Amino acid sequence: MRGASAMAARKAPQVEELFSSYGRVKIMGIMMESNELNISEITRRSGISHSSVEVHLRLLVELGLLTEKRFNRIRIFRVNHSNPYTNAVGRFLSEWRSISSESSGQAVARAFS
């Protein structure tokens, strides 16, 4: 089930659909930092193959977390801030990074003490 019929059938994104894939989490993190990127830049920043990025982006658009605009052959993806789930994911990723950097800093401090 793809496209508009899939979106109509979905009530809410399932957290497992996003977090079950390293690629989707990586792409959402990149998108939350940048807000808007083309597929080539997402591929470059993520280090994930173009074809895998396409698959992940398709699902993220279906989940309503991202939107897509096409300008001829150029595809631009944007964070869908009107979706409350997107904002929840953004807060989660931000908090995770904050805790991770604090933990890393503490580990480094312990190593040199």
pLDDT tens profile 31-73: 999 999 999 999 999 999 999 999 999 999 999 999 999 999 9
Whether this prediction's pTM lies above 0.85 is answered by no
Element (H, E) at 79: strand 74-79
Q: Is 113 helix (H, G, I), strand (E, B) or coil?
A: coil
The sign of the torsion formed by the CA atoms of 20, 24, 29, 35 equals: negative
The domain that contains 102 carries what CATH number?
Answer: 1.10.10.10
Task: Print the domain residue range for 82.
Answer: 3-111
* Alpha carbon distance 110, 20 (integer Å): 33
Between 18 and 27, residue with greater pLDDT:
27
* The pLDDT of residue 106: 62
Q: Is 11 helix (H, G, I), strand (E, B) or coil?
A: coil
Between 99 and 8, residue with greater pLDDT:
99
User: How many domains are there within the chain?
Assistant: 1
pLDDT band for position 102 (50/70/90)? confident
Report residue 52: phi and psi, to 5°.
-70, -40
